[in-house]
Amino acid sequence: MGQLYLNKVTKSFGDLDVIKGVTLDIQDGEFVVFVGPSGCGKSTLLRIIAGLDDATAGDIVIDGLKVNHLAPVHRGIAMVFQSYALYPHMSVFENIAFPLRVEKMPEAQIKEKVESVAQVLQLDQRLQQKPGMLSGGQRQRVAIGRAIVREPKIFLFDEPLSNLDAALRADMRIELTKLHHDLAATMIYVTHDQVEAMTMADRIVVLNGGYIAQTGKPLELYHKPQNMFVAGFIGNPKMNFLPATCKAVSDEGVTVHCLGRDVTIPVEPRKDLVGSSLTLGIRPEHTFIGKGELDFQITPTVVERLGVNTIVYSSTSGDDRFSALLPGAAPVVVDKPVTIGFNAADCHLFDANENALERRTALTEIDLDQLASQ
């Protein structure tokens, strides 16, 4: 079992409140990813779960047992860091065996366990080598092996792939997903990398300034962000935001005035919105060249050609930027005005408190589950 419950956890360093009340239930076997901007408290929360830092207030409960005062070694948790923290003078075998030797496990059993873990991680041909002879990816696998042999209830990963190059990261991402599937263990993973979060997580926890901004399945966060912070944080390039005013609400949704036109966005029709200032959100990948239910002319300032698609950036008012992600080699050039359009069903709408109005049209993971079962 590896069930974790955080109940109103806070953490302050002197006057600095870093974690401001986090309550979170993580199920046995779940792969949960913490994301959020630099300094939002991701690593601190992980260290509190591991027992490397104490919470200022609140409870950490593992499998029904409050562990606040248990030393890290007694929590049944293994942590894998960005820096592999391997012993350079020891062989791969000795590095993986290290926690078992500390536990004074019989030698024959250690050999059996290390060899079995090495096989899972495809390190069986490397057991006699020293870490210095290995690639970055292989070293990270040794660090993961050292975590696995302890058979922890919960694995904690603090940006384990951030020292690796792009190709190796992609390989390791797939390996870690497979490993999670094979071990069926609870894993909590901190990353800056959206692709890692979207592809590996059963559930993503978005942190902002010591609070949870939203938790949900990856596609739920993408299609139905609950607030502007999550809407802007999940997705790359980030969602565009445009000013709008609410003209009316009806069964069809909320009619707004935006880009000089009235358009009805299919979201929950909250009556209190009429007359108020709203923000309309549109993802760059939901725009196209030409006229749409909403459109406007932009003058590209930067055009990035990635082969599979083209990203166009333009400055709108002040520091605001509008970006469009267009398929293939789009016919756009810097300084040449182009009409960019998009449709109401793809838009998001946020109230004056930056909370999202619930969308009616988005394909959600619930829909996807239904599709998959047909």
- List residues near ligand ATP by CB under 6 A: 13, 16, 18, 36, 38-44, 192
Q: Which is nearer to ligand ATP, 162 or 309 (CB)?
A: 162
Token representation of residue 337:
């005005």
Q: Which is nearer to ligand ATP, 43 or 323 (CB)?
A: 43
Q: Which is nearer to ligand ATP, 54 or 320 (CB)?
A: 54
Token representation of residue 117:
């873990």
Q: Which is nearer to ligand ATP, 19 or 280 (CB)?
A: 19
CB of 36 to ligand ATP, least distance (A): 6
CB of 22 to ligand ATP, least distance (A): 12
CB of 215 to ligand ATP, least distance (A): 16
Alpha carbon distances (Å) from 354 to 126, 208, 230, 257, 292: 53, 14, 10, 18, 25
Q: Which is nearer to ligand ATP, 52 or 248 (CB)?
A: 52
Q: Which is nearer to ligand ATP, 205 or 312 (CB)?
A: 205
Rg of the chain over CA atoms, in angstroms?
24
Separation between Cα atoms, residue 317 and residue 155, nearest integer Å: 46
Alpha carbon distances (Å) from 247 to 35, 114, 149, 254, 274: 36, 67, 62, 8, 6
Query: Are 207 and 40 within 8 A, CB to CB?
Result: yes
Separation between Cα atoms, residue 66 and residue 310, nearest integer Å: 51
Count the neighbouring beta carbons within 10 Å of the beta carbon of residue 78: 23
Separation between Cα atoms, residue 233 and residue 229, nearest integer Å: 6
213 burial via Cβ count (<10 Å: 0-12, 13-18, 19+): buried
CB of 17 to ligand ATP, least distance (A): 9
Alpha carbon distances (Å) from 22 to 43, 49, 156, 215, 294: 14, 12, 17, 12, 40
CB of 365 to ligand ATP, least distance (A): 26
CB of 72 to ligand ATP, least distance (A): 16
- Give residues with Cβ within 8 angstroms of 243, minimum separation 6: 258, 277, 278, 279, 280
Q: Which is nearer to ligand ATP, 221 or 357 (CB)?
A: 221
CB of 320 to ligand ATP, least distance (A): 26
Q: What is the end-to-end Cα distance of the chain in Å, rounded?
A: 32
CB of 214 to ligand ATP, least distance (A): 16
CB of 282 to ligand ATP, least distance (A): 28
**DSSP-assigned beta bridge partners for residue 192:** none
| Cα dihedral 147→150→151→156 (10° resolution) | -30
Q: Which is nearer to ligand ATP, 114 or 207 (CB)?
A: 207
Q: Which is nearer to ligand ATP, 82 or 95 (CB)?
A: 82
**DSSP-assigned beta bridge partners for residue 323:** 313
